[in-house]
């Protein structure tokens, strides 16, 4: 059964995986703007069990329609999954690589989705690990003629991938909360910043953090400002996503 949601409805809903999808789209598109961004999860080789969509009205279609059309165009054959293959690893793939897939040329995905909605540069972030039977994709598409994704934007996605992957596995109940992985964005924080960030991500207010750590509220506020700046985020919701805390 397919669950198809706009990203705001997904965030406000009660399903952890859907919430993660909506938050991931919101988080990623703040740093890598794209008129269309989709979070997809397939539970087996053929079917997507969840699609969360964030889109811009300039595409001329609703989020529901865009998600539904994508699923229709990949129902029989999915060139995106062909591109990613069975590597079972996190990876970033772009338009040139998609066009190199034999099944993409003249496919329904190309003719009835990419061309019909006048989409141009495409980026696909694959989050697929051995520990999971579900494959998670983050697909971003710009309008035809827009600038290609920059190396800075691609670098951000590669950097964010471990965070998104960790949060994804938390959302599907595989291991629950775990410590931030070395090399992720969380590793950029000082021990004190990380301590405060984890408390904030779990819902503690600045005053509560200050009392617990026996420091001034102004100090907590200063540390939180530094955390937001280092992680490129603007809210506690995004902080929870960055640290892999189920929202």
Q: Nearest-CA neighbor of 52 among 10, 109, 13?
A: 10
| pTM of the full structure | 0.69
Distance (Å, whole) CA 146 – CA 140: 13
pLDDT tens column, 195-231: 898 899 888 999 999 999 999 999 999 999 988 888 7
Domain 185-242: state its class.
Answer: mainly alpha
Residue ranges per structural domain of the chain: 3-171, 185-242
Helix (H, G, I), strand (E, B) or coil at 133: coil
Q: Nearest-CA neighbor of 80 among 51, 101, 111?
A: 101
pLDDT tens column, 78-117: 898 888 875 657 789 988 898 889 889 889 999 999 999 9
Q: Hey, which residues does 51 pair with through a beta bridge?
A: 4, 40
Answer whether 83's CB lies under 8 Å from 97's CB.
yes
Confidence of residue 184 (pLDDT cuts 50, 70, 90): low
Q: Does domain 3-171 have CATH number 1.25.40.10?
A: no
């Amino acid at each position: 059964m397919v669950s198809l949601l706009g990203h705001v409805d997904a965030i406000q809903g009660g399903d952890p995986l859907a919430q993660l999808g909506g938050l991931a789209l919101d988080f990623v598109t703040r740093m890598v703007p794209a008129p269309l961004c989709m979070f997809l999860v397939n539970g087996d080789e053929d079917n997507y069990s969840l699609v969360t969509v964030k889109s811009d009205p300039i595409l001329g279609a609703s989020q529901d329609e865009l998600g539904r059309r994508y699923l229709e165009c990949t129902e029989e054959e999915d060139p995106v999954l062909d591109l990613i293959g069975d590597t079972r690893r996190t990876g970033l793939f772009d338009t040139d690589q998609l066009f190199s897939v034999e099944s993409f040329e003249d496919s329904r995905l190309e003719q009835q989705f990419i061309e019909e909605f006048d989409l141009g540069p495409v980026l696909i972030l694959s989050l697929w690990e051995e520990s999971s039977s579900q494959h998670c994709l983050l697909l971003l598409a710009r309008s035809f003629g827009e600038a290609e994704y920059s190396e800075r934007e691609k670098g951000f996605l590669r950097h964010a991938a471990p965070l998104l992957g960790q949060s994804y596995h938390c959302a599907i109940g595989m291991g629950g909360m775990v410590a931030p992985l070395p090399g992720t964005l969380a590793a950029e924080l000082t021990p004190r910043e990380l301590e405060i960030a984890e408390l904030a991500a779990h819902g503690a207010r600045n005053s509560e953090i200050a009392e617990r750590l026996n420091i001034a509220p102004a100090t907590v506020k200063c540390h939180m400002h530094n955390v937001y700046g280092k992680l490129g985020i603007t809210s506690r919701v995004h902080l929870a996503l960055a640290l892999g805390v189920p929202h």
